[in-house]
Homo-oligomer: A and B are copies of this chain.
Amino acid sequence: MKLSVAATTQALSPDTVFRLLERVREKAPRVHTITNAVAQSFTANALLALGAVPSMTIAKEEVAGFAASADALLVNLGTLDEARRAAIPLAIEAARSAGKPVSVDPVFVNRSPVRCAFARQLVEAGPDLVRLNQAEFDALFSDRSDADTLISEGTVFAVTGQVDLIESRGEDFRLLNGHPLLARVTATGCAGGAVLAAFAAVEEDTALAAACGLSVFNIAGEIGAENSGGPGTLVPELLDALYAMSARDIEMRLGAG
């Protein structure tokens, strides 16, 4: 993806990343997360290890209350059943009205036209942040100028891959952290998306929040992979690394440019 919006690519400093991480730990933002059933436990544990507070109800009677009283909302479209389909618009409306940042993860839209159509509506409404991979991006935007328009109106895109790109109407970021073993664990992208949402809860510059949040999650993934013997032990080790991450971890590992 090279979007036509004029933007300069910024380097991230380790200090900035750690400062935002510390802010998340101090403020302990509540992140209401509507996510797929496969990802719920790992996502909740990633938020708790980070220092944020997850809630996950999808009941249509109460989702608006949870979303409005949270500090950020994440909507992930994996396993998009009827209950989630009903809950999502209510949650987004409530978060919007309360002025809370909204993130959307259009998981697997490249595998399901129905889901893609549903996701397109959510994305075209202009959430603060959209996290997706290149295949999902291509499925959503046959015409790339549609994405450019959304970006010019303020939506930030985090396009994950070997290099992660943060695209915004302000700064862009190229992020290089991560580890191939993460692809052998379910829901790492979903859990990472929740970390981004937690950072967006404490930093108004959404592109900066996304860049810092994604770097922190991917550095935890690197440490977790190195401390593990495979994809099974990676998960607990990643969570331990997220919990314990120090300024020095970030300084030694941050790859952005």
Q: Mark A73-96, 1 if CB is under 8 A from B, else 0.
A: 000001111110100000000000
A40-93 interface with B by 8 A CB criterion: 40-42, 44-45, 48-49, 54-62, 65-66, 69, 78-83, 85
Q: Verify A112–B45 contact, CB threshold 8 A.
A: no
Q: Which residues of B contact A125 (CB under 8 A)?
A: none
Does A114 have its Cβ within 8 Å of any Cβ on chain B?
yes
CA distance A4 to B61 in the complex (A): 35
- Residue of B whose beta carbon sits closest to that of A184: B48
Tell me the minimal C-beta distance from A75 to chain B in angstroms: 15
Given A38-B44, A41-B41, does the pair A49, B231 have CB atoms closer than 8 Å? yes
Q: Verify B37–A232 contact, CB threshold 8 A.
A: no
Q: So how many copies of this chain end up in the complex? A: 3
Tell me the minimal C-beta distance from A69 to chain B in angstroms: 7
A239-257 interface with B by 8 A CB criterion: 239-244
- Residue of B whose beta carbon sits closest to that of A57: B79
CA distance A81 to B39 in the complex (A): 17
14 A-B pairs in the complex with CB atoms less than 8 angstroms apart = A38-B40, A39-B41, A41-B187, A45-B186, A48-B184, A49-B231, A57-B78, A59-B115, A62-B80, A62-B112, A82-B83, A184-B243, A230-B243, A233-B236
